[in-house]
Structure 1
């Protein structure tokens, strides 16, 4: 599954769901407090919108929240603790998936160096402010 991030201007960036989850968790590890997303236009799902970042329903991430996410990921990127934190986050996410019964074969395990190509484009995108998760 993929996460498609889109600006109102039409600019986009695509990430795998697992990479997006790692980025969100890494940002939280470095102090980001998610504000919660704004419900998609016309939301009439079961119950109230819960502010999820991990679905692709067309929800909006506010300008302040996007920039805060960028600042905390930037802090992670320049930290000398990044390699350890990234490894810990990956292990946490994969262990949680396995605890829910999702088998992860060795070839599918994430490696910290997979994220180097994603960091800069994602940071630039996030620093530009609000976006939709499609």
Structure 2
């Protein structure tokens, strides 16, 4: 079993669509108006933006969290938490062994919190940080 879709609340679909297009570096794959639905494809998992959806906290794996935060900040996005190490992966249970999990958080245009995650190679460290 795998997750196929995340629904996210959006008061203003064009504004939210522009935000996620900037974040993902690509536009939506489908839009339906009415009823007001926008879909992004994230390697087989869909993000659905819809006014009637509840707010959800979702995390996106990125190659370089510092670069994404800098790009989004330059686009006017509110950064809630700068990139910081959450813990070190000693095994592959939650991420690649030998990496630090670096997370940062920002707000989308609709006020929803969005997490960014990078698995950064450690510099000879192990264990929780």
TM-score by length of 1: 0.33
Query: Larger radius of gyration, structure 1 or 2?
Result: 2
User: Which structure is richer in relative contact order (CA contacts within 8 A, separation 6 or more)?
Assistant: 1
Greater strand content: 2
Indicate the structure with greater helix content: 1
